Amino acid sequence: MTIQNASRPLQKEKGVVSGASINLVSLTLMHFLVDLHSGMLPVILLYQRQALDLSLTQVGILAGVYNFCLSLSQPFFGYLADRWGPKRFAIGGLFWIALLGAGLGFAPRFLPLMVLATLAALGSSSFHPAGASTAAGIMTKNRSSGMSIFLVGGSIGYAVGPLVAAFVFESFGLHGTLLISMAALFLIAVLMLLKNPFKSEVGRKVTGLNFSQEMKALEIPISILGAVIALVVLSGSRAWIYSGLSNFIPQQMTFLGFSRAQATGLLSIMLIMNSIGVLVGGSLTDRFGPRIVMTTSLVLLAPVLFLVSFAGPGNIGIFSSMAGFLVGLPVSTVLLVGQSFLPGGKSLASGLVLGISFTIGAIGVALTGVVADHWGLSIGLMVFGFLAIAAAICGLIMPKRLQR
């Protein structure tokens, strides 16, 4: 009798762990579908640059506007998700980006393309804070690994997006965005029927904070203000580098003589390496802590970025893949450190970290386009190496261990 009673808590714990794992897998697949659409944007711009005769400045503006809109609205959606629960914002964001993404291949001019990209970005910004806070609550142990699994779903989606877009566009033209969106909507519906991770709040509670409580959660102690500023600079620089590589590496490859299909394939390899970096970075953070992972990865990234900027046809694929891996290592760490600074509102914290990062990245990628038009794309890419050095210095101020 005693043995049976002792085994019940163990069985219950195994059931909770199993349920948490299934919820995490389902949430990760949703993240995959959201970022699949974001991953298609560089390829859409690659094809639309020729179809609409866009300049590199216009390409940078389009990528920047998409990321800028996504960034500015994330804290707002994060606040709403903390107050009313993440389900409606995550699921709504999924359907929204799939629906609006269909129109990106039909834009006849630069301005309609920019409007559609701006509206589509709202779906992604609605999903990410709600999804990240849910992922943080699902796993009570090895949080960095759990968060990295959620994030790597998005990274893989972003990596697969260019391959899917290139295959469909080569087969059906730019209007193939409609086919991609229809397939995504079907998969979203199937996934919601099979397993909805928002039905079970494993390891977390939907707080329903009112506005005054949410503002109180924003009160950051003076003692960690320096670390908060350093985190903003680090995460923003990393986002600028990642967004710049994603949008301009394909352009650089076409200048070096690669076909659009070849450039898309090498971009996907870089993004897959980024996904591996995100996954590895979560495990390393659980073992060594955020400071070591952030600083080391960014120190190693800087020289690789200088090599990328002046690489030739024979080695740009190798160097860009190395850069993709290294820039992915600190991703989950940045998000969890940000959540630890604002424990009273994890969705809001996620929205702020992601929003500020993407805002800096959006402005940065637009500036990169201007620099590339005036001084050459190699010079524009070289700036990323200096950003990595600045981010590595900020990494020295990060906490040694994550707060539980």
**Dist CA 358 CA 380 (whole Å):** 19
pLDDT confidence tier of residue 318, bands split at 50, 70 and 90: very high
Q: Going by C-beta distance under 8 Å and a sequence separation of 6 or more, which residues neighbour residue 225?
A: none
Q: How far apart are the first and last CA of the chain?
A: 36
| pLDDT level of residue 14 (50, 70, 90 thresholds) | very low
Question: Is the pLDDT confidence value at 242 over 80?
Answer: yes
Query: pTM value?
Result: 0.70
16 burial level (CB within 10 Å; 0-12, 13-18, 19+): middle
- The more confidently predicted of residues 236 and 358 is 236
DSSP conformation class of 401: S
76: number of CA atoms within 13 Å, CB side? 10
Across the range 398-403, mean pLDDT stands at: 73
The single residue listed with the structure tokens 């903003």 is: 232
The confidence score (pLDDT) of residue 327 equals: 94
Query: Which of 158-167, 219-228, 307-316 is modeled with the greatest confidence?
Result: 307-316
Checking if the pLDDT of 244 tops 70, the result is yes
In angstroms, how far is CA 165 from the centroid of its own chain?
18
State the Cα–Cα distance between residues 72 and 70, nearest whole angstrom.
6
Instruction: Encode pLDDT of 63-73 as tens digits.
Output: 878 877 877 78
Domains, in order of start, for the chain: 16-196+205-395 (1.20.1250.20)
Average pLDDT over residues 4-21: 49
Instruction: Say what the pLDDT of residue 305 is.
Output: 95
90-94, 106-110, 311-315: lowest mean pLDDT where? 90-94
pLDDT at 21: 72
d(Cα 100, Cα 116) in Å, to the nearest integer?
A: 7
pLDDT tens digit string along 257-315?
Answer: 988 888 888 888 998 898 899 889 888 888 888 889 999 999 999 999 999 998 999 89
Q: Cα–Cα distance between 214 and 83 in angstroms, integer? A: 9
pLDDT computed for residue 349 by the predictor: 64
| Residue where the block lists tokens 């940045």 | 334
Percent of the chain topping pLDDT 90: 16
**DSSP characters over 341-386:** H-TT-HHHHHHHHHHHHHHHHHHHHHHHHHHHHHH-HHHHHHHHHH
249, 365 Cβ separation under 8 angstroms: no
Confidence of residue 385 (pLDDT cuts 50, 70, 90): very high
Average of pLDDT values for 166-172?
88
Q: What is the mean pLDDT of residues 80-104?
A: 83
Query: Count of alpha carbons within 13 Å of 81, Cβ hemisphere only?
Result: 33
